Structure 1
């Protein structure tokens, strides 16, 4: 599932592109893995079909592991050591926790034990910095609290600890008000193709999907922003063309993935997980 996307000054630019790209790539494979695993469990009566599903699942698992290891290598070698402020440091450490968690989702035995421990260590380090350096309503701190709670609930099977962390996201109403006010200003002052306006719509739609659990509003907002930008695509100037079209692609990718996830959830009895950034 897509994670919450932050376009603040500390993490925008090439770093944000890096984050967006890998979240899309890994998100598609996590979604595929969930669907394939469900199919594999339902084909127990047919050895041939079960073997086919198993082989495809293992292929997706390898791709997912390779992507996660690439991201973790970049984080450890370049991004975390060079983080120049608490916001960036927390953002990168949260990403590290997220990608180790993705590995834990498909790992087993001793391998799983190792990646679970590394995920928890990364989240905890980020959380300690966030509590000391960030306001409780800061979107990166909120996203971290939500993802860390998902880790406790899904990976460690510790619902009490998960609920304790998730309570910190109860202040999300303040976040929604801020997004709403910012979007109104953007609509009044920026063109539909402006990258800042598109980035805001992208973040706000993920906020609705992940934090407010409002997939209909999320899809409506993302689709409206995409359609409005498409209608004025010929007005884009060269300076903002790359940024705007990238965010438009992300809006469309989110819509596609959310629709896919909703279909898979319906087939599996409506199960839904919530996370940010990482999804």
Structure 2
């Protein structure tokens, strides 16, 4: 004999079960769609799905989710940063009487508005959901490096007063992350090396402090080289790639310094 007393009772149970199943599937569905969006190179969709996923889980996400979140917004923001730099290049080539100048400035401001909104969206997710839920040092360093990056991107496009706030905030966040990373992560860890790379770029591009940029990049590279024999196989590719980028920057920055000396 059926345990259901009536069709309405069975239907009510079915609806409750369906709703609970949908609730359980929501987060994984967001990730599945985000992965499809990544393959289709539709990064706006990818970032939207990852934001919804993170909000659904209140910031308690896996390492794979963390990487998807980073990739999504890096591409969405990166595309607009490239567009903004292109407009800046065109603007510099035009004189004040050129009728195209107003159009270029207007379009550049449109891109700046999009960048501003996206960067603040990432910072909100980091501050409200991800950093408070970071239980391990590598998670905290990853998120704080990311926070420093998006404050740096804001500084690139902001006016002087707001720019100073973003510059100072970025330096504080990068430095705090660096202190944790130096004490608790291996010199060869990809997250440690990635932080060194971006923190040194901040010194070079934002503060125009070439000596500090070179010192930080060189220390990170030399420390990693000394520990290369202990590098784990699963992180070898990522670590050595970032080390190559550090070395490339050092070569480039050192060459810039030599060129300046010759011109003096």
Larger radius of gyration: 2
1:80 is matched with 131
**Pairing 1:149-228 to 2, within 5 Å after superposition:** 149-171=200-222, 203=238, 207=242, 210-211=245-246, 213=248
Give the unaligned 5+ runs of structure 1: 1-9, 185-199, 215-270, 272-279
Report the 3-state secondary structure (helix = DSSP H, G, I; strand = E; otherwise coil) of the residue aligned with 1:13: helix
Give CA-to-partner distance per residue, 1:2-40, whole Å, 9 cap, x none.
xxxxxxxx9622221111100000011111111110011
- For the pair 1:137 / 2:188, whether they are aligned, the reply is yes
Give the unaligned 5+ runs of structure 2: 1-60, 250-255, 257-264
Q: Contact (CA 8 Å) 1:142, 1:168: kept in 2 or not?
A: no
2:119 is matched with 68
- The alpha-carbon deviation at position 174 of structure 1 amounts to 7.8
2:197 is matched with 146
Q: Contact (CA 8 Å) 1:145, 1:165: kept in 2 or not?
A: yes
* CA separation of 1:17 and 1:128: change in aligned 2, threshold 3 A: same
Root mean square deviation, CA, Å: 3.0
Separation in structure 2 between the aligned mates of residue 175 and residue 38 of structure 1, nearest angstrom: 42
Q: Which of 143, 152, 160 is equivalent to 1:92?
A: 143
Q: Contact (CA 8 Å) 1:33, 1:60: kept in 2 or not?
A: yes
- Where relative contact order (Cα < 8 A, 6+ residues apart) is larger, the structure is 1
Separation in structure 1 between the aligned mates of residue 163 and residue 229 of structure 2, nearest angstrom: 40
Separation in structure 1 between the aligned mates of residue 186 and residue 231 of structure 2, nearest angstrom: 17
1:242 is matched with none
Separation in structure 2 between the aligned mates of residue 205 and residue 36 of structure 1, nearest angstrom: 34
- For the pair 1:57 / 2:139, whether they are aligned, the reply is no
Q: Which of 91, 96, 107 is equivalent to 2:158?
A: 107
Report the 3-state secondary structure (helix = DSSP H, G, I; strand = E; otherwise coil) of the residue aligned with 2:132: coil
- The alpha-carbon deviation at position 47 of structure 1 amounts to 2.4
Separation in structure 2 between the aligned mates of residue 119 and residue 46 of structure 1, nearest angstrom: 37
1:237 is matched with none
Separation in structure 1 between the aligned mates of residue 131 and residue 201 of structure 2, nearest angstrom: 23
Q: Which of 51, 66, 88 is equivalent to 1:15?
A: 66
Separation in structure 2 between the aligned mates of residue 134 and residue 183 of structure 1, nearest angstrom: 13
Higher helix share: 2
| TM-score, with structure 1 as normaliser | 0.60
Give CA-to-partner distance per residue, 1:193-241, whole Å, 9 cap, x none.
xxxxxxx7xx589648844649xxxxxxxxxxxxxxxxxxxxxxxxxxx
2:47 is matched with none
1:35 is matched with 86
* CA separation of 1:67 and 1:204: change in aligned 2, threshold 3 A: same
2:171 is matched with 120
| TM-score, with structure 2 as normaliser | 0.63
Q: Contact (CA 8 Å) 1:90, 1:130: kept in 2 or not?
A: yes
